[in-house]
Amino acid sequence: MLGILTVVGVVALAFLTWYLLRTLRQDKLADITQRRRQTSKLVTRAQYVEGLESLPVVLSLSEDTFYYENPDLNAMFELRRIDEVEYDDEFATGRSVPAGSHALRLRCHGATFEFLLADSTVPQWTAALPPRTAGSPVSTRAAS
């Protein structure tokens, strides 16, 4: 009986720890979102996808920079360094994106970066960061 209670206690503790860490991460993402809203024309949440792994991030776009951040990651691209911008219903690996979302794919000097956007944010992103192929000029318009 004591063994069963110990196992149940360990499982409950693991679940509560996971839940606490998830909640703290969401709070930190909210802090990043609030901070970026002051200087960016577009800020949304997304998932940074690399292979089978994905990380929750805050995407933001200023006049000349694309940012993707979370508590453990602080990365950016100058818009002039982005060669291609694509919005797609599958990842570069050929895997389909989940229902209700689209992939935002950025190519920068031969490297590909993919983000999973909610369908509700795709029109804002396509207006602010239009799709383009290599060789076309960088153009950003203010998001409405």
| Residue pLDDT, tens place only, 71-119 | 888 999 899 999 999 999 999 888 999 999 999 999 998 899 999 999 9
pLDDT band for 136, please (50, 70, 90 cuts): low
Is the pLDDT assigned to residue 30 strictly greater than 70?
yes
- The sign of the dihedral angle between the CA atoms of 66, 62, 73, 17 is negative
Phi-psi region of 126 (alpha: psi -120 to 50; beta: other; left: phi over 0): alpha
Q: Are the C-beta atoms of 128 and 140 separated by less than 8 Å? A: yes
Domain at 2-128: CATH code: 2.30.29.30
pTM higher than 0.85: no
pLDDT band for 141, please (50, 70, 90 cuts): very low
Domain boundaries, the chain: 2-128
**DSSP symbols for the chain:** -HHHHHHHHHHHHHHHHHHHHHHHHHHHHHHHHHHHHTT-SEEEEEEEEETTEEEEEEEEE-SSEEEEEETTEEEEEEGGG--EEEEESB-TTSPBPPTTEEEEEEEETTEEEEEEEEGGGHHHHHHHS--B-TTSPP------
